[in-house]
């Protein structure tokens, strides 16, 4: 396998994972539980699959590094806690601001990934990459822009949405660093345990109902757990071993584009010319960012 081949496979995995996660809003909209309870089941239903994958991997590759100290356990828990905080804070932001504002501000995560990678790890970025980042974020804004409304009474919710973006940035950076030490299966399983326990505590504290009452409700939860989480997030974690975290976060702006197209196809929500243009601009931004991060 040539040097370029792992990067190509990682890019395919990253984009495929982004599309899989783009299905998550559709599964949520068609479900029947609250946001935090839904997030809990998203992680909980993925765990048996991830655990089985980890056990199979250990039988096949017994020399793979395992968590062997409290420091290892802590490091593996950090992205899980960041992911749980991201989902929870995003939910709280919806209580204080519009869905459009929250969605846009949450998708500012690539900006924070790039900023923190520069501040904490002294990573350098080309002008081409930064141009791609700006282009992709602009595309995400075009996808949502018609519904935006920045008003003083929304400031608290907007701030929470920005906090959610920072937690997701922390998740991406932490997973990217951990992939230098642990396999994808190890990271996804251990971070999944941390996030599941955290989300369960939050859901109970908020008084959300925990059990779906129809087969459709459980089917949507299974889609979230098996397709969006187990498959989608695992593909992203695999890709972050071969691609820069900053570029990975830009590529994940495919999520709102995918969600917009699926909402049009599945839910009948209008996809106007600005939304279509936004999706195209996101794709162009990803291409430019890729050229600037080789």
pLDDT in the model for residue 15: 87
pLDDT in the model for residue 269: 62
Locate the domains of the chain by residue range.
4-291
pLDDT per residue over 180-201, tens digit each? Answer: 899 999 999 999 999 999 999 9
Q: What is the Cα–Cα distance from 161 to 92, expressed in whole angstroms?
A: 8
The mean pLDDT value for 204-226 works out to 93
Q: Which residue has the tokens 């900053």?
A: 246
Is the pLDDT at 34 greater than 70? The verdict is: yes
pTM for the full model?
0.82
Q: How confident is the model at residue 94 (pLDDT cuts 50, 70, 90)?
A: low
Please state, in angstroms and rounded to a whole number, the distance separating the CA atoms of residues 226 and 24.
Answer: 11
Give me the pLDDT at residue 262, please.
Answer: 72
Phi, psi of 48 (to 5 degrees): -60, -40
- Give me the pLDDT at residue 249, please: 85
Where does the pLDDT of residue 225 fall: very low under 50, low under 70, confident under 90, or very high at 90 and above? Answer: very high
Residue found under tokens 């089941």: 41
User: Lowest mean pLDDT: which of 45-49, 88-92, 227-231?
Assistant: 88-92
């Amino acid at each position: 396998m040539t040097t370029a081949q792992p990067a190509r496979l990682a890019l395919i995995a990253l984009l495929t994972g982004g599309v899989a996660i783009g299905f998550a809003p559709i599964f949520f909209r068609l479900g029947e539980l609250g946001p935090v309870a839904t997030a809990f089941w998203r992680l909980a239903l993925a765990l048996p699959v991830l655990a089985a994958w980890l056990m199979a991997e250990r039988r096949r590759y017994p020399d793979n590094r395992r968590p062997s100290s409290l420091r290892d356990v802590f490091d593996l828990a950090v992205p899980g806690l960041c992911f749980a905080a991201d989902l929870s804070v995003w939910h709280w932001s919806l209580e204080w601001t519009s869905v459009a504002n929250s969605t846009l501000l949450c998708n500012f995560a690539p900006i924070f990934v790039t900023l923190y990678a520069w501040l904490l790890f002294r990573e350098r970025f080309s002008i081409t990459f930064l141009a791609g980042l700006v282009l992709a974020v602009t595309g995400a804004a075009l996808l949502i822009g018609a519904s935006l409304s920045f008003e003083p009474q929304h400031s608290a919710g907007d701030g929470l949405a920005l906090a959610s973006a920072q937690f997701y940035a922390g998740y991406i950076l932490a997973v990217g660093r951990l992939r230098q030490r642990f396999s994808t299966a190890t990271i996804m399983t251990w971070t999944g345990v941390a996030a599941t326990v955290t989300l369960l505590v939050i859901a109970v504290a908020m008084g959300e109902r925990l059990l779906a009452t129809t087969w459709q409700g459980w089917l949507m939860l299974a889609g979230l757990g098996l397709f969006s989480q187990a498959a989608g997030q695992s593909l992203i974690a695999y890709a972050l071993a071969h691609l820069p975290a900053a570029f990975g976060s830009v590529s994940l702006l495919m999520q709102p584009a995918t969600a917009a197209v699926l909402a049009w196809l599945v839910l009948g929500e209008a996809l106007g010319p600005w939304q279509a243009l936004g999706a195209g601009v996101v794709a162009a931004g990803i291409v430019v960012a890729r050229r600037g991060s080789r």
